[in-house]
C-alpha cells in the first residue's frame, strides 16, 4: 500500500477531502488532491498534511469545466509518470435555480462527467492507470428514482418524442440542457447521475481486463457543500426533514468510506452502480438492479453522447 497512488477529484471540500484523509490513513503512499485552482489544491494538501501528519498529498489544478485545464493536469501527471492505482472521480454538484452552461455549452452539473471522461481517457492512453486500477465515480440515489423532489428523464421516451428515437441525441440534449429540455435543477442533477451510471457500464466494457470501474453513491451527507446552489425547498425543508429520520444522513467520513470500500471490489462487478438500499440514504450499499440502469442501448448512447460532447474517444485521447 505504501507505493500505491490515488487521485481524488474535488478534494477541496466535503467527501473528496474526507476520502483523501481516509486514503492517507489506509497507507496510500501518494494522494493527489485536485482543486479548481492550484492555490486551492495547495491549501487543501497543506491542511490534509497538517491534520494527518502524513506527507503524502500532492496538489493538482483541475477545473473539470475547462478542457484545457484537464489537458494541463494530464500533462503534469505524464511528467510525474507514476501509474495511479485508485482514481476517485468525486467532483460534482447540485445545480442552482438559474441554468449555468460552461464555455463549451455543457450544463454545470453534467460538466464534471465530461471532464472526468477526458481525464480517464487521457490516463488510459498514457498508460497511467496501473494494470489492476480501480476507478470510482460519484453517483447518487436520484439516478435510480424514488427520491422526493428529484426525477430523472425517461430518455427512450424523450428520444422518441424529440429525437426520432435517437438516444444519443437525447442524452446530448440533456448534457447540454439543449432544445426541448425543461431545466429543473434537481432533475438536471438526477439526469447527470443517471448518465454517470450508464457511462460506467459502457466504460467497464472498454477497460483492459484487470481494471474495474464503479459508480458509487456516497449516500446522504448533508454536512458538505453539495447543495450550496440548491433552492430553499431542498435546503431548508427537505434536508432538515429527512435528517430527522434515523439512518438518512451520515458524516462525510462515513459517506466517503463507501468509495474506499468500492476500491476493493472485484472485476466481476465492474460497471455496476452501488447505492443505499431502497428508501435509504445511508447504511450498507447495494448493486442497483433497476431495469433502466441496465438498458444496454441507453448505456451505449450515453457513452457516444459523452464522446461527442467531450470530443474525446479512447482511440483519439491525445496526451
Ligand atoms: N453529500 C451528499 O449528500 C451526496 C450524496 C450523493 C452524492 N454526492 C456526490 O458526492 C460528490 C461530492 O459531493 P460533496 O458532498 O463532497 O460536495 P462538495 O462539498 O460541494 O464538494 C464537491 C467538490 O467537487 C468540486 N467540483 C465540483 N464541480 C467541479 C468542477 N466542474 N471542476 C472541478 N471541481 C469541481 C468542488 O470544488 P469547488 O468547491 O471549487 O466548487 C468541491 O471540491 C459529488 O459528486 C456529489 O454529487 C453527494
- The pLDDT tens digits of the residues spanning 246-279 come to 777 899 999 999 999 999 999 999 999 999 999 8
Q: Is 110 in the pocket of ligand 1 (CB under 6 A)?
A: no
d(CA 227, CA 237): 12
Cell numbers linked to 52:
494527518
Residue 238 binned pLDDT confidence (cut-offs 50, 70, 90): confident
Share of the chain above pLDDT 70, in %: 98
pLDDT at 316 over 70: no
Q: Is 24 in the pocket of ligand 1 (CB under 6 A)?
A: no
pLDDT at 315 over 70: no
Rounded to the nearest whole angstrom, what is the distance from the C-alpha of residue 10 to the centroid of ligand 1?
Answer: 6
Q: Identify the burial level of 165 via C-beta atoms within 10 angstroms of its C-beta, where 0-12 means exposed, 13-18 middle and 19 or more buried.
A: exposed
Distance of CA 309 to the CA centre of its chain: 17
Q: What is the mean pLDDT of residues 97-109?
A: 96
Rounded to the nearest whole angstrom, what is the distance from the C-alpha of residue 164 to the centroid of ligand 1?
Answer: 35
- The pLDDT tens digits of the residues spanning 44-54 come to 999 999 999 99
Q: Which atom of ligand 1 is nearest to the CA of 93?
A: 47
Cα–Cα distance list, 3 to 60, 84, 130, 210, 298 (Å): 19, 10, 12, 19, 38
Q: Which atom of ligand 1 is nearest to the CA of 193?
A: 47
Mean pLDDT of the chain: 95
The pick from 7, 8, 10, 258 for probing ligand 1's pocket by mutation, whose C-beta has the most ligand atoms within 8 angstroms, reads 10
pLDDT at 234: 80
The pick from 7, 8, 9, 14 for probing ligand 1's pocket by mutation, whose C-beta has the most ligand atoms within 8 angstroms, reads 14
Q: What is the mean pLDDT of residues 156-184?
A: 97
Residue 308 binned pLDDT confidence (cut-offs 50, 70, 90): very high
d(CA 134, CA 126): 16
d(CA 255, CA 205): 27
- The pLDDT tens digits of the residues spanning 133-166 come to 999 999 999 999 999 889 999 999 999 999 999 9
Amino acid at each position: 500500500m505504501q507505493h500505491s497512488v490515488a487521485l481524488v477529484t474535488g478534494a477541496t471540500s466535503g467527501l473528496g477531502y474526507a476520502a483523501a484523509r481516509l486514503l492517507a490513513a489506509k497507507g496510500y503512499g501518494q494522494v493527489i488532491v485536485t482543486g479548481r485552482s492550484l492555490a486551492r489544491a495547495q491549501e487543501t494538501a497543506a491542511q490534509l498534511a497538517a491534520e494527518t501528519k502524513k506527507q503524502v498529498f500532492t496538489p493538482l489544478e483541475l477545473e473539470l469545466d475547462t478542457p484545457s485545464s484537464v489537458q494541463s493536469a494530464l500533462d503534469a501527471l505524464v511528467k510525474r509518470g507514476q501509474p495511479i492505482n485508485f482514481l476517485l472521480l468525486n467532483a460534482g454538484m447540485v445545480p442552482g435555480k438559474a441554468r449555468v452552461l460552461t464555455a463549451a455549452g455543457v450544463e454545470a452539473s453534467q460538466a464534471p462527467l465530461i471532464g472526468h471522461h477526458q481525464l480517464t481517457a487521457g490516463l488510459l492512453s498514457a498508460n497511467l492507470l496501473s494494470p489492476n486500477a480501480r476507478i470510482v465515480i460519484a453517483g447518487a440515489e436520484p439516478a435510480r428514482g424514488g427520491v422526493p423532489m428529484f426525477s430523472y428523464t425517461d430518455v427512450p421516451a424523450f428520444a422518441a418524442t424529440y429525437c426520432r428515437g435517437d438516444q444519443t441525441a437525447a442524452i446530448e440534449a440533456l448534457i447540454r440542457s439543449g432544445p426541448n429540455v425543461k431545466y429543473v435543477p434537481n432533475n438536471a442533477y438526477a439526469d447527470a447521475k443517471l448518465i454517470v451510471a450508464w457511462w460506467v457500464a459502457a466504460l467497464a466494457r472498454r477497460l483492459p481486463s484487470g481494471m474495474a470501474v464503479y459508480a458509487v453513491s456516497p449516500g446522504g451527507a448533508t454536512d458538505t457543500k453539495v447543495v450550496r446552489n440548491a433552492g430553499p425547498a431542498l435546503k431548508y425543508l427537505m434536508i432538515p426533514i429527512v435528517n430527522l429520520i434515523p439512518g438518512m444522513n451520515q458524516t462525510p467520513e462515513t459517506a466517503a468510506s463507501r468509495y474506499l470500500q468500492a476500491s476493493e471490489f472485484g472485476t466481476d462487478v465492474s460497471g455496476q452502480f452501488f447505492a443505499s438500499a431502497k428508501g435509504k440514504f445511508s447504511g450498507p450499499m447495494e448493486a442497483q438492479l433497476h431495469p433502466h440502469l441496465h438498458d444496454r442501448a441507453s448505456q451505449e448512447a450515453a457513452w457516444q453522447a459523452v464522446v461527442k460532447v467531450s470530443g474525446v474517444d479512447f482511440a483519439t485521447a491525445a496526451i
